[in-house]
Chain A
């Protein structure tokens, strides 16, 4: 029995303690096999001969059945997958790890006419394409520092969505520093709120002070409680540093008991000039992954979703972020881009993620720019070709994750993503009970993580 070549590049085997995790995400198949079984399966793939053993025969059959299509970049006309609005790059906090903005950058606020035009263009595009669902996402800076843009666009989008018979969702990433009336408004009007809360007061106030140096914790904690009682899905997002990584399980418990969020997202600190000045370091990736898993067990026991986006094994994607997914992210000056990060951050990596411009009510999109953004995908990341996680993390952020070179060296992001991804596969299989033993055995985890190629066919001599 032979397996098609394309499938062979999507069948992985990763050592877990004394077994191998056979993982074929596009076949929705995972199994823990002993070494003999793994060798037999590999040899059968190489020779094209059927495996006789009953259980392995079933796996062989499954691997020969039609798999999900290999994820591929979007082709054809540009239809915005969502409208991203950057009401302002300005912010009312002075977080220790946040990158510097020039005075001009932080003062710029989207005009109401620009916001109106952006929503009208987006809805017109959806109507033209016959799309029946709209998404408007707000990024910053702090979006609520330009609250009229939100007021305008939320109501306008609702009216326009109703006119064209479209369902509609709003999502906002916010620091939660606003007054109580605005907080109730957000709880009532926004569908998904991603609120940055780095932990209890000592952590949060140290990481995220206001511009006057006072802590922001009191306001954010108060607002988080209001938001937790509203109809919006509340996700708490905590930035984790080398100093706070050991407290992730404690933070998870505190989040669940105090705020009843729908999900909790732990993100390791992204190093920047500002974070170095603030003497903040990213966590060790092994510590981060181990503590993420411990936190995940706690969150799951409360029915709260643990979020580490790169390790989401349900994702099937060629790009980790909006880039290449035909998102249209509109800046205060009318630039439409594929990414919500600062333009100078992309440019520092040699990328131009501008797709076009919104000016005087009309939009000019550049077809070559759309193609270029779509080409930023995992198919063009050779370092990821042999990694079991390639359809999930898709190589991570195009701007902040520089892929390791040579390809068989895994960096910080790869290490934590591979550990969390493997844990998620084991959990999905009902084998979560193996994870504590695995994580306690550093050598075993290193064998899993540092395997140069995860492809089953690339496995060398199995002992």
Chain B
């Protein structure tokens, strides 16, 4: 899996946060998913357009685990979601994407 790729939510998926879970529905197949815990966090970070490089260190701080461990878990989750069709590898990361400022 290339780190230069950005994984985005598949266009047919809609989602909503409901208390402590993220509910996903594929509008085409009507299949649904309920994400909790770290999976819900990952979905949330993907949904705002963060790249792999940005998500891993952030996740490491959120769940207080070493980056290497987070990297492995994150990759597994992404592979599973790619198989299920709820994410897609869509484009390359842009230069400077790690800069989280917004043009101050």
Contact = CB atoms under 8 A, between A and B. Distances in A.
B102 A156 contact: no
Contact of B62 (A155, A182, A211): A155
Interface in B15-48: 16-17, 20, 41, 44-45, 47-48
B101 A146 contact: yes
B67 interface: no
A181 B62 contact: no
A90 interface: yes
Contact of B104 (A88, A116, A178, A189): A88
Interface in B72-104: 100-104
B11 interface: no
Interface string B6-17: 000000000011
Contacts of B16: 188
A156 B44 contact: no
Interface in A170-206: 178, 181-182, 184-185, 188-189
A152 B62 contact: yes
B104 A152 contact: no
B104 A112 contact: no
Given A91-B104, A112-B61, A116-B61, A147 B20 contact: no
Contacts of B61: 112-113, 116, 152, 156
B101 A155 contact: no
Contacts of A152: 58, 61-62
Contacts of B63: 159
Contact of A112 (B17, B44, B47, B58): B58
Given A151-B45, A152-B62, A189 B17 contact: yes
Contacts of A106: 104
Contacts of B66: none
Interface string A144-174: 1111100110011011001000000000000
A185 B17 CA distance: 9
A107 B104 contact: yes
Contacts of A116: 61-62
Contact of B58 (A90, A151, A159, A182): A151
A142 B100 CA distance: 13
B61 to A, nearest CB: 5
A69 B68 CA distance: 56
A358 B16 CA distance: 35
Contacts of B62: 116, 152, 155-156, 159
A103 B47 CA distance: 32
Contacts of A211: 103
- Say which size band chain B's interface belongs to: 20 to 34
A81 interface: no
Contacts of A107: 104
A152 B48 CA distance: 13
A151 B48 contact: yes
Contact of B49 (A141, A144, A181): A181
Contact of B20 (A158, A178, A184): A158
A187 to B, nearest CB: 9
Contacts of B101: 90, 109, 145-146
B100 A92 contact: no
Nearest to A113: B61
Contact of A185 (B41, B44, B100, B103): B44
A185 B9 CA distance: 14
B99 to A, nearest CB: 10
Interface string A106-150: 110100110010000000000000000000000001101111100
B104 A155 contact: no
Contacts of B57: 112
A182 B20 contact: no
A151 B58 CA distance: 8
Query: Which among A107, A113, A148, A181 has the highest number of chain B CB atoms within 10 Å?
Result: A148
A101 B104 CA distance: 12
A159 to B, nearest CB: 7
A152 to B, nearest CB: 6
Nearest to B22: A188
B58 A92 contact: no
B20 A148 contact: no
B48 A185 contact: yes
B17 A90 contact: no
Contacts of A90: 101, 104
Given A141-B104, A189-B44, 10 more contacts: A88-B104, A92-B102, A109-B100, A147-B48, A147-B102, A148-B58, A148-B100, A181-B47, A188-B17, A211-B103
21 contacts: A90-B101, A91-B104, A92-B103, A113-B61, A142-B104, A144-B102, A145-B104, A146-B101, A147-B48, A147-B102, A148-B58, A151-B50, A151-B58, A156-B62, A158-B20, A159-B63, A162-B20, A181-B48, A185-B44, A188-B16, A189-B17
Interface of A: 88, 90-92, 106-107, 109, 112-113, 116, 141-142, 144-148, 151-152, 155-156, 158-159, 162, 178, 181-182, 184-185, 188-189, 211, 231
In order of increasing CB-CB distance, the 5 nearest A-B pairs are A90-B104, A148-B100, A188-B17, A155-B62, A145-B102
